[in-house]
Every structure is written in structure tokens, then in C-alpha cells.
Structure 1
Amino acid sequence: MTLEARRSIFSRLVLAAIGLSLALVLVLWFVTHQTVVTTLNEGAAKEVDVDIAGLVDIYATSGLDELRDRIADRVALTPAEGRTPHYLLANDAGERLAGDLTRWPALDPMVSEAGAIAIGEKSRGFARAVQLGPDLRLLVARRTDASAAVLRNIAIAFAIGGGMFVLLVALLGRLAALDLQRRIGRINLAFREPGKAVELIGVRGRDEIDELAGHSARALERQRGLMEAYKETSEQLAHEMRTPLSHLDNRLLKALQAEPAPRVAERLVEARAEIKRLVQTLESLLDIASSKSRRGDKAGLLPVDLSAMVTSLCELYSGSAEETGHSLTWEIAPGVMIDGEERQLSRLVTNLLDNALKYVPPGGKIEVSVGPGPVLVVSDDGPGISPADRKKIFDRFYRGQGHSHDAHGSGLGLALARAIAERHGLQLTLEDCVSGSSFRLEG
């Protein structure tokens, strides 16, 4: 059984039904077995008691010789039905006077004791002993081991019938479970791929599951409508903010083209840089919101060669690293694929590389590795991240107290990287390091 099957509630229900059915069959067999055994024993006891009553009457009316003759006749007669009878007529010393049994069992004739005895070497029987006179005792027995065949046949019948019953329960349970699993699977698919939710809206409510499917579909449709409205509002807001900022930047550019005084020109350049930073911050916030809103949504994801993409980025950044005095090395396993948006994944990696180049002093080492999983690791030997910053490093607008040689930045790089990772169903974490820092992205 696969791990998924073991974890499925429907598989567990089928197994529980099979176990319950098997337990029920075993209980019924046990009750039937005990009932048959009790009935057979009671029947043997009645036969013995009736036989004893007749022999006692013969002894009382006709004497010892007649009793011995009657016992001999009964021993010689093999009954067509019922249990084979056995007898022992003996004196008080246990010496046989008549019958086919040779040894007196541990039964007290003075109290008409009854119980199970051995008959021969392999057979068992039910017997009762009675005292006929001062020096005469009688034992009458009926074999009960013949009932073992009856019990064996009952056990076989229960094994065959019970097995068919358990198989029928398993089959019907599995068919019912598959139907439930299929219906629940449609609901889960709608949550994994919201575009499928519309297929559930037309489902007629046969039971609670169909009702749940309808409610889920309508909730997903409302959520999608809200997210589209949110996206539209965000894009409109971004457009309304970009437009005046763009106009302001153009005016500042025209002012610079007029060749103002050096001090004024310096301030105009700083203002244009602030405008650019505001636009970048706005775009990063919109990207973070978009990635978080699409977390777990696989729509639009296509196979991406992560190995080729990271290799290309490392080659692109190697020139910048050389100019800033950093050592950038990479070890990329070939053919590592992932379903995703290549542009977003590329931005995630560049944010990690930018973060390393920003905080690692010149002369430091930056290492990048990609392996199956996929697993991407970007590590460095820089000043590292203080324990106080570790829990907040992925928060928006949070900038640690590290030794950054770049005073600029909005504190959104790592927040955006994590949002992109979550949108692709990946985890971006900061690993514990003795020195430097190491960011690990894995599925």
C-alpha cells in the first residue's frame, strides 16, 4: 500500500470496515461453535441419562444376569444415528463384569458424577457413573469426538462464507470510497487550481459533499473576484502614482538640461534618485502582494530549467563581483527542472545575489549551488546576520544592522524573494552558520 493510500481517510475507512467484518465473522463463529458444543454435550448427557434409567430398571426387575446380557447386546449393536454407546459394569474394586470399557474413570458413582472421560487411546466421551448396589456400579458413556467433524464443517462453512462476506464488504466499501474520493478530489482540485471551481457550481446537491462542493466553488469564485478587483485597484493605484512621479522626473531632467548651478544640479540628481527608489519600492510591493495572492496557484507555471537560469545569472554577476572585489563561484547540477515563472524565479535569485554583494565586504566569497530537489543555496563568508535580525530578516521594510557598505535599499529584497518562493510552493530559509550567511531554497 502506498503512502498516499495509507494517509487517505477513505482507505482507512475501508480497512476499518474489513476489520470490523472480520471481527464480526469471528464472533459469530465463536458463538455458533460454543452453542453447537453445548447442544451436543447436552444431547449426549440426555442420551446417557435415558440409557442409565433403562439399565437400572432392567437390573431392578430382572437381576444382574439380565443386565449383563442387555449391556452385551447394546455393545454389539452399532447405532445408525447418534453417538456410539460404551459401558462398564464393575464391582466396587473396579473389576469389569460386563461392557467394552476396561478401566473405571475418576467418577464417583455414589453421587452419580458425570464428566468427560477417555475412551480408548484417542477418543473422548461424556459419561455418568451410578451405584447399583453395595458391590455393583455402572458407567454409561457416549463418544463426543464424532462432533469434532461437525464443528470442523461449521468452521469451514464460516471460513468460506465469512471470507466471501469480508470480500464483499471490501469491494462495496472500496467502490463507495472511490466515489467519495473522486468527489472530494474535485473539491481539492478546485482549491489547487481555482479555475476549476466553476465546474462545481452546477453540481446538484445529492448530499452534504455536493453541498460542500457548491459552497467551496462559490467561495473560490468570490475570492477570485476579490483578487481580480484587488489586482485591478493595485494596478490602477500604481499607474496613478507612476504618472505624476514620471512627470516630476521629466521636469527635473529638463531642469538639469538647463545647466543650473552645481549645488542645485546635485540636489536635482538626488531628487531623481529618490523618485527612482520610490518607483522601485512601489513595484516591489506590488510584486510581493501579487506573489502572496497567488500562493499555491499553479496556473501559468511552466517547466523552467533552473540549472541553466542560475548559471546564466552567475555568469552575468561574475563581472560585477570582479569589479567590487568579490569572489563569485558556482556549482550547478545539470538538468534541474522546476515548474514556475522564469521571470519571477530569476528575480528571486538576483535578489539573493544582490543581498550578498551588498553585505559582503570586498574580498569576500559568494558561493551558489543548485542540486536536485530542487535545492538552491546562496552562501557567503560575510559578517553574517545577528540573532536579533534572523527572525525579522524576511519582513518587509526591515533592514538589519549588518555591516552593509551600501546605505541604499528599501528592505524589500528578501521579503519579495520569500513571497516568490511561496508562490511556487518553495521554502526560503536562513540556515544556521558559524560565519557568514546561507540562504536555502528548496521544494
Structure 2
Amino acid sequence: MQTRLPAILRTTAFRQTLLSAALFALSSFVILAFVYAASAGMMLRRADAVVNEEVATLSERFDAGGIRAINRYILQRTVGGGADYLYLLVNPNGRSLSGNLITGLPDAQADDEGRVQFTYRRPRVLGTEDSEKDDRTARGRIIDLPSGYKLFVGVDVDEESSLVDRMFNTILAASALALALGVAGGIFISRRFVRRLDLINDVARSVRSGDLKQRAPRNHTGDELDELSENFNDMLDRVEALMHRMRQTGDSIAHDLRTPLTRMRSRLDEALREDGDLEAREQTLERAISDTDELLGIFNAILSLSRLESGESRKSIQPIDPADIAADLAELYEPVCEDEGLGFASEIERGMIVMGDRGLLSQALANILDNAVKYTPDGGAVTLRLRKNGEGRAEFSVTDTGPGIPDEDRSRVTQRFVRLDNSRTLPGSGLGLSLVQAIVDVHHGRFELGEGPGVSVDGRGPGLRASMCFPLKDEG
């Protein structure tokens, strides 16, 4: 049966902390190893320099008096065992002529310059308790003299060698301690990290089970988990708002579709009951077809909103002249306003280029004009303008003298299927302004509703000004 590591050891935080600790331990080991190598090298160089200095002195003695001068010098230096150096002079037969502390040449392999490092046993002094260890480390040079004589000159480096060994052991211990502390720190940090993640996961599980009121806790430190909690909560706020909107949308669809469906059914039933009156039956069927067209218009608007929100329409955005759109719609709606008993005026500024979809922008402006014509009473006026506003953007605006929209309702009317009480008796689906808002969002613009030119002709409101602002092409 395969055993699994404890959960805390399988967390990303623990693995990352352990990796950091391992890298820190490795880097510490490399740095300390460099210090060790430098220290050991310095010790060797110092010993070699001392030995070379003594070898130079002996060379001068040899040049002045030969083997006898060297032998006499060594005997003088080693009288009473107080010499700072290790000496050994041997004849061609290998017999020791003079020296101290060592009885034979070192067996260790010498390098090209005759340098050798070895372990020797220091003899105990009779009648004393020598507490020092017997085996010690020495370093020196073996020099070949004429006629087969050999000379060894060295120094005791046992203390330095022991110091270097202790330094190496300390390096290993420090690296192991750094790694152990890193593991302990990883466990500690991981526990804190995992506790905070568990709280966020608990909220996610609650939301998955249907409780949209839950929110991830924050400590307001601004760290990564706090930022994750903030974004997570913002997402939940968005989801909750969308779910609420979906429920409202469902209710609105049921309410707004029930009327035309009921009316259409009644008319079809009436057409079936017509006894031989072909003309009345045709009129009833024509009204039923009109109701069907109204339903299709609602569904087409819903599909258009879905395509806009999915980003599908962004593919057809290209440089266009907004003045052409304004001019075409002014020409189209001027006779419509005349038929409705309304005045119509247009003011169109040319010379601007925006990035947009001509069809979508035309549809958005037409929806605004439709609303203006629909809600402006007989004798009122509608004005269409296109200009560069104070922000340097292209601005479409439609102003009417209708009842307007109360300030507290202006943010709601751009939502799907939202219709104010005073508009329930008029034809429409409540999707016109929401479609305008979606089109403006696709074009990175801004849609605003404000008060119109003043009191409407029937005295019921200040009128309405609806504007769409879009960045010019040179703004990017």
C-alpha cells in the first residue's frame, strides 16, 4: 500500500520554501567552501614561504662550507630540541647525520618542487607527561644535494591543519543547520499559508453549494492572498449580481412575453371562430402576425445582446466616419417625426474618424431615436447632434422634450427587460437601451442619460438627453 506524505508537506508553499532553503544552504556551502579553500591555501603558502626561507639560509651555508656546514648548522639549531623547524640530513647510504623529531625521510609523494605533507610521530620526552597527541602533521621540502646527500626542511602545521579541519566540519554543520531551519520554516509558513487558503476554499465550496452570500476573509495586508481574496470577492459580487439579474430577466421575459402570446392566442382563436367572414379573419391573422413579429424582435434583441457580450462583433470593427451614420439616420427619422407631429433638427460635425462597426453604431443610434419618438408627446421636438466634445471624443446625442427619466432610474433602464411604470402601456421589450449599452461597451465608449432642454410640452418632465461618446481613431 502506497503511503502519502502529510498534507502540509505536499503544499506548494512548503515545496517552494524547501527549495529556497536548499538554495540558501547550497549557496552558504559554496561561500563557506570558498573561505575554507582560501584559508587552507593561505596556510599552505605561509608554511611553504617559511620553509623556503630556511632552505635559502641552508643553501648559503652549503655554498660556504659544504655538507659539514649544513650538518653543523642543523646541530646548532636542534640542540635541546628547541628548533622551530624539522630537519633531517642523510648521507647517500640513507643514514641520518643530523636532525630532530623525525628519523627518516617522509614516505609521502613529493611534488615537482619537492614539497611534501605527511604525518609524523613526535617522540615523548622521558620523565614527563606529554599531553599532546603523538601523530602530528608537518609540511616541508626534500632537497637533493651533491654526492647523493638529501636534506629535509619542514615545519609543524598540525594546529593549522586542525583549524582547517574544524572549519570544514563547521561548514558542513552550518549547511545542514540552514537546511533544517529551512524545512522547519517551510512547515511553519506552509501552515499559515494553507490555513488562509483553506478559508478561501471553504467559501468556494459554500458558493458551489448555492450560498452566494459567502465572502473570502481578508487581512488587508495587501499580500498575494489578500489580493486573491479581494479579486475572489469581486468575482462573487459579480456572479451574485448576474444571478440576480438572470432571475429578474426570467421574470421580465415571462411578463413581457405573456402579453403578446396571450393576445396572439386570442386572435388565432377568434380567427377560428369567424363564420365565413374572410375579411375579418384576415385582419385577425394579420394582427397575430404582428404579435409574432414583436416576439421575434424580442428574441433577436436577446441574441444580439448575447453576441455582443461574447465579443463576437469585435471582429468587424474598422475605421468609419460617424457623420455618415448621423446623416443617414437624420434623413430616415425626419419624416418619421413629421408623421408623429414632432419637430426634428440635426447638427452634424464632420472630419472625425472612430473605430467601430457601422451596423452596430447605426442600430444603437436608431434605438435612441426610436425611444425619443415613442416617448415625446405630440408637438414636441427631437434633436440629433454629432460633435467633438470637451474630451476630444466623438459624441452622438439625442435630445427630446418628453417626460424624461428620473435620476434614480437612469442606471436601471440600461439593464435587460427593465421598463418603467409609465412605459408599460407602450409597445416594447425593455431591451433597447440595454442593447445600446452593450454596443457602446464593445466600442470602449460611454453611454449617459441626462436631463433634456427643459419642461416637456405636456409639463410632465424635463425631457431627456441620451449621449454616446467614442474615442477618435488617433487616440487608439
* TM-score, with length taken from structure 1: 0.44
Q: Point out the structure with max Rg over C-alpha.
A: 2
* TM-score, with length taken from structure 2: 0.42
